Structure 1
Amino acid sequence: MKRILAATLLSLAVAAPHAVAADTRLELPLQELIDSPQAKAAGIDGSVRFYLAGQSHPAVASRMGEDVSNKKTNGVGKSDVESCNWVALSVLKAFQEKAKSMGANAVIDITSYFKKNEFRSATNYECHAGNIMSGVALKGTYAKLK
């Protein structure tokens, strides 16, 4: 009995770091997500436009401050892409709600900001997917566009 218990504990000790340590970095297209039926279902209503850093946008009438939105979601039972898209929609929804409350109609110069490491792309956002959790952090500037 003691041998079985010792073998079980040893197996768990060896396997545990691998179960927790998984961290897959993905770059996924933001505009494709914004245009998806899932975005509409999540409440992304088009009243606030989102522009990644390097992406062209209409002229800026006024900038209203910078912000970071950092969200995590349960990744259990979901593919990495599915959980990343879900959490990215949560981030966009938070930006949308704050932009509306400030009178902004856009969030511009959006960069990924996972663990305060900036990643810039004119097309993609960065997500980190693990066995249990997936996370997206975006930094952007609220703006009123002409």
Structure 2
Amino acid sequence: MKTRIALGLVAAAVLTQAGCSTKIKSLPMPAALQTQNGQDVALYFGEQAHAPVTQSFGNKEFAVRVPRKPDVSPEANCNNALAKALQDLRDYARAQHANAVVDIKTHFQHNESASSTEFTCGASLNGSTLAVRGDVVKLETQAQ
């Protein structure tokens, strides 16, 4: 009888942990993030073409965890985490007087994406987590 109780407790613990596991997702890049319209700091993912770099301010990374709201899907929550991380990256670049961040990659743990059409996120029942990393630069601008 004690063995059954012990096995029942172990099974309950395993099921509880399985329900809380984080799933690594590769999701489509939100269309709003693929445009540079109206942004003072442009974002270029992976190997996207951009103007020549005139000054580099180094590589910067921001990791973000966004708690999940009950009425939001894990995918939408990942989009919120990405938007927050990219805003942090833009704010940092702006403070450095940069006008772009190039070679942006997203990652969760050891899973990385350098794509301009997809990003990597860790999603669980509790929230979404990811990191963005890119080179903060000043790009050559056209004379107006």
TM tier relative to shorter chain: 0.7 to 0.9
| In 1: Cα distance, 2:123 partner to 2:38 partner | 26
SS in 1 for 2:20: helix
State the Cα deviation string for residues 31-63 of structure 1 (Å, max 9, x = none): x13269xxxxxxx96111100111111111111
Once the two structures are aligned, what percentage of the paired residues are identical? 25
| In 2: Cα distance, 1:119 partner to 1:26 partner | 8
2:26 maps to 26
TM-score (normalised: structure 2): 0.79
Decide whether the 8 Å contact of 1:114 with 1:138 is kept in 2: no
Read off the aligned partner of 1:49 and give its amino acid letter: A
- Structure 1, unpaired ranges of 5+: 37-43
Cα offset, 1:75, TM superposition = 2.0
| In 2: Cα distance, 1:21 partner to 1:61 partner | 44
Within a 5 Å distance, the mapping from 1:1-146 to structure 2 comes to 12-30=12-30, 32-34=31-33, 46-77=39-70, 78-146=72-140
The list of structure 1 runs, each at least 4 consecutive aligned residues, that deviate by more than 3 angstroms after superposition, is 5-12
Cα offset, 1:120, TM superposition = 2.0
- Structure 2, unpaired ranges of 5+: none
Cα offset, 1:106, TM superposition = 0.5
Decide whether the 8 Å contact of 2:103 with 2:134 is kept in 1: yes
Decide whether the 8 Å contact of 1:129 with 1:135 is kept in 2: yes
Number of residue-to-residue matches in the alignment: 134
Read off the aligned partner of 1:56 and give its amino acid letter: A
Decide whether the 8 Å contact of 1:76 with 1:131 is kept in 2: no
Cα 1:121–1:115, aligned 2, differ >3 Å: closer, same or farther?
A: same
Q: RMSD between aligned alpha carbons?
A: 2.6
SS in 2 for 1:94: helix
TM-score (normalised: structure 1): 0.78
SS in 2 for 1:54: coil
Cα offset, 1:11, TM superposition = 6.5
